Amino acid sequence: MNEIQPVSTYAEKQAKGEQVDVLFWVGCAGSFDERYKRVTLAIVNILNHTNINFAVLGEEEACTGDPARRAGNEFLFQMQAIANIQVLNGYKVSKIITACPHCFNTLKNEYPELGGSYEVLHHSTFIQQLINEGKITVKDGNSFTGTKITLHDSCYLGRANNIYKAPREVLEALDADLVEMKRSKTKGLCCGAGGAQMFKEPEKGTQDINNERSKEAIATGASTIATCCPFCMTMIADGIKNENKEGVVEVKDLAEVINDSI
């Protein structure tokens, strides 16, 4: 990965009288999870590579409240959401991109009822647009040419927001061999993390759902499993470990795959 340039916050840009076109909403995982920090850096590199005028909120960004609402704590959700909306509206933010489908869904579909209406794009759609506009060109002989890649559909991206095409078009631009799992798109199998399940032990059953999903991914023969969600990445990576396939099958976010190829 290329050396990452310093990232400005909205406050820093505003203090200089500079306008910001896009807010990059980093999210809790992108900020604190050691593995997903690499995805954050990949997105920053892509934004810099394409000369996008962007900024982050930095310490002014807080959890969107998605886990609280899914777990049934509506009071906490509204407290978190209203605090974020006050910050966003204070900066007159109009366009937001994020790598987390949970943040995406909440910002796009649930904040408007509380007074926060923005153009919100998941990074898969944003990267697809950059490719279509010619702002991202995959280098010849990139490391994914001819390799088998399978895509795991995030529930909050797919079933909740009907975004299936964008991540696949991004992978197709790599000239990779995109192979679908037995259950994909509208029939895709959840990784098991949604609905705040990420933060608790699973109920008793015959098999953990992330292990079931990881077996389906391995069965495609793909050497790379592409994900578009921090929760999915964690669950699928754990499933790969459970199947003793570490080092054989890689789990990478869509942004990492593109960043490796530009």
Residue 134 lies in a domain: no
Q: How is residue 116 written in tokens?
A: 């926060």
Same domain, 255 and 144: yes
Q: Report yes or no on 89 lying in a domain.
A: yes
| pLDDT for res 250 | 96
Residue 210 lies in a domain: yes
Are residues 256 and 226 in contact, defined by beta-carbon separation less than 8 angstroms? no
**Domain-terminating residue out of 128, 152, 169:** 128
Is residue 251 in some structural domain? yes
Residues 68, 157: one domain?
A: no
Helix axes 165-172, 123-132, angle to 10 degrees: 50
> Do residues 101 and 50 share a domain?
yes
| Residue 85 and residue 153 in one domain | no
1 in any annotated domain: no
**Nearest residue to 233 via CA among 23, 4, 17, 34:** 34
120: β partners: 96
What's the CA gap between 254 and 20, in Å, rounded?
25
Instruction: Quote the CA–CA distance of 112 and 121 in Å, as a whole number.
Output: 15
Q: Are residues 36 and 65 in the same domain?
A: yes
Residue 5 within any structural domain of the chain: no
The verdict on residue 79 lying in a domain is yes
Based on the fold, state whether residues 122 and 146 are members of the same structural domain: no
> So what's the pLDDT on residue 116?
98
Name the domain boundary from 128, 163, 183: 128
Quote the pLDDT of residue 3: 58
- 225: β partners: 150, 251
Considering the domain architecture, whether residues 152 and 76 belong to the same structural domain is answered as: no
One domain, residues 214 and 118: no
The continuous run of DSSP H or E covering 253 comes out as strand 250-253
Q: Which residues pair with 25 in a beta bridge?
A: 98
Helix (H, G, I), strand (E, B) or coil at 134: coil
Q: How many domains does the chain have?
A: 2
Residues of the chain with pLDDT under 70: 1-4, 141, 195-196, 199
Domain that holds residue 65: 10-128
Query: What is the per-residue pLDDT for 9?
Result: 97
> Where a domain ends, among 128, 156, 180?
128
Query: How wide is the angle at C-alpha 131 spanned by C-alphas 134 and 98, nearest 5°?
Result: 130
Residue 189, pLDDT score: 94
**pLDDT reported for residue 1:** 46
Q: What is the CATH number of the domain that holds 240?
A: 3.40.50
Give CA angle at 145 (233, 253), nearest 5°.
15
